Each structure stands twice: as structure tokens, then as C-alpha cells.
A and B are shown apart, each in its own frame.
Chain A
Amino acid sequence: MEKHVVVIFPHPDDEAFGASGSIAQFREEGVPVTYLCGTLGQMGRNMGSPTFANRESLPEIRKKELKRACETLDMELKMLGYRDKTIEFEDKQEVADHLRGYLEEIKPSLVITHYPGYAVHPDHNALGAAAIQAVEDMKPEDRPKIWAQAFSNGHEEDLGSPDVINNVHDTFDKKLQTILSHDSQVAGMFGWYKQLDELEEEMKNELIENQAMERFYLWDFEKNSSN
């Protein structure tokens, strides 16, 4: 059993789509989970559907949604205060040191973050890289395991199959509730999750299956050593 899990993603809702089923499973086992959320998603283009946010009101709205999501998952929240889209332009070591401060205090046994280079959004890649740097900077015996999430097109060709494939059917209700907490962001293709119960069985099942497996790569410090 894990001792404490720390989730490091840049945007409110990354945790919902990427890992909330697994987080709910950890919480059911009684494992504490802390979310280090990098930004408030200030530059998101989804403004609700129908639109209810604007560029200036979005950060506060997303902060409330994030808090609600964390309450749903019974997960501790720490907001890191970076600005959406800018993490890759920050000093990587400074961000890594910032993260390491939390890790040294919390002493998690597992860190969940994005797989640098394979996570599509520049913020995902940059914060994932800083998180891994933070763990690498720790003494080997103090390092938590890292589950890195990749979802760029064709990532399996480079990385092979994920090491951890979590079936989260049992916590799917929590996952759905977490996704729907991010009301301003649940639009477009994700808008269907708002009306899951009204959909035909086949489509409903497809949407559930799309979110029912959470995949991670166990970070190999030796193989990926940047030093």
C-alpha cells in the first residue's frame, strides 16, 4: 500500500481526466493524496457551454471548480501559482526546487505526473520534467516512485505499453463527478459526460470505456538519467 501519493499536474481538470479514478481508489484504501496544481488554467479557451466565463473571470471560476473537484476526491490541494502556458519559460531548476520543497515535507511514496515530451501540452511536458527533476535531485533512498502519464499520438511506439493500467470502473462515479466539477471545461467532446444517462447504451459505454482505464509509465531513473 502507498504511504502518501502526490499528484503534480499543471491545470485544474488534468487530475480529473488523467487520474481521478486512481486517486479515488487510493482514497478508498485510506492513502492520503495531495494535488500540487501548477496553474489556474487562466488561458483556457473553454468558457462554459453555454458560455458563462470570460478571460478575466475564468481563473476564479476554475479555482472554485478545482476546490470542488478536490473535495469530491477528498484530496488535499496545494496551488503552485504559475500562469497557464508559461511553465516551460520558467527556470526549470527553480520549479524543480519548488516542487522538491513539497516532496521533502510530504515524503510521498508515489508521485503521479505527466511524461515529459509525450503529454501534448507544453505545460504538461514542462511541469512533468520539473517534477522528475525534483525527484532525481533527492537522495536515491528518499525518492518516491513516479507514474508518468503519456498520451501524445503514437507514444506507445516510443515508450511501449504502459507499466500501470488501472481499471477504474469501480470508482467511475467519483471520476465522473470530478470531471463534472470542472463545469467551465466540460464542453465539446467532453460535453457528453454531462448527459451520460440520457445517451444510448452503446455511446454511453464507449464514453465510459474512454475514461475507465488510467495508464501510467513507471519512471526508470537509470534508463532516463539526464545526468
Chain B
Amino acid sequence: MKPIELEKVQKALDSYLNKEVYVHLETTNGAYANHLDANAYTVGAYIRNAKVTYKQAKIIGDGNSYRVGLKMELGWIYAEGLTDWTIYQENQLLLAGHDREGRLMVALEVSETPFKQ
């Protein structure tokens, strides 16, 4: 992946407007967070292949870290802390936030075809 280029990502997000798409949304601080530091909490969530349609999309950020909001008929999809992006296998937009060690902390991915289970 490469550092987020705002205009290109905005264009990619817009390419899925009003289409039925599959979303992968995830955040994690690792299964060992509490094992390695008793004061830390092990927290994570992911949803894979949620089938949604969004009618408005925006990426906003300061050049290092970005937020994305996707507005749907009945609600929102939101991710914060995104740093990198790529188009994977031609039709999958992958966005992710990595820590300074390169570990994934958050991911938001959109595709017109389901992600591999």
C-alpha cells in the first residue's frame, strides 16, 4: 500500500456511489494487547462482506491520517486513522491505518464483488 492520495481516493470512493458494494471494516489492537500490557485492553471488531449502498462519500484528513464517512440511506459507515491505500485486483479499494511498526490498526475496504471469505 502507499500513503493516501486524497484526490485519488475520493475519486475511487465516488466510483462506487449508488452501487451495491461489499464492505470490509475492521479495527484491532492485536489479540495480545492485554497479554503484553496488563493495563491495555484487547479490543477489535470486524465486519466482512457487508452488502451496502452509499449515496455520498468523503475522505478528510491532515496529510498523515484520514477519516472516511460513507452516507447510506439508513446510516453511516465511518473509519478513522487511515494512512495508506491501494487498488487491489483492479476493483477493490483498500484503505488502512498502520502504526509506526507497520501493523494494521484499522481498515476500510470497498469492492463491487465479495471479498474472499
Which residue numbers of A lie inside 8 Å of B, CB to CB? Answer: 43, 45-51, 54-57, 59, 83, 85, 120-123, 152-153, 187-188
Contact = CB atoms under 8 A, between A and B. Distances in A.
Interface of B: 1, 24, 26, 28, 30-32, 35, 38, 44, 46, 84, 86, 88-89, 92, 94, 96, 98, 101-105, 107, 109, 115-117
A31 to B, nearest CB: 31
B103 A57 contact: no
A50 B84 CA distance: 13
Contacts of B86: 54
B102 to A, nearest CB: 4
B98 A55 contact: no
Nearest to A120: B35
B27 to A, nearest CB: 10
Q: Is the interface of B mostly helix, strand, loop or mixed?
A: strand
A83 B46 CA distance: 13
Given A55-B24, A120-B31, A188-B103, 9 more contacts: A45-B104, A50-B102, A51-B98, A51-B102, A55-B104, A55-B109, A56-B88, A56-B116, A187-B101
Nearest to B94: A54
Contacts of A188: 101, 103
Chain A CB within 10 Å, residue with most, of B44, B98, B104: B104
B102 A49 contact: yes
B88 A54 contact: yes
Contacts of B30: 45
A49 B104 CA distance: 11
B35 A51 contact: no
Given A56-B116, A120-B31, A152-B35, A46 B102 contact: yes
Contact of A56 (B38, B103, B115): B115
A131 B55 CA distance: 48
Nearest to B36: A189
Given A43-B28, A45-B30, A55 B35 contact: no
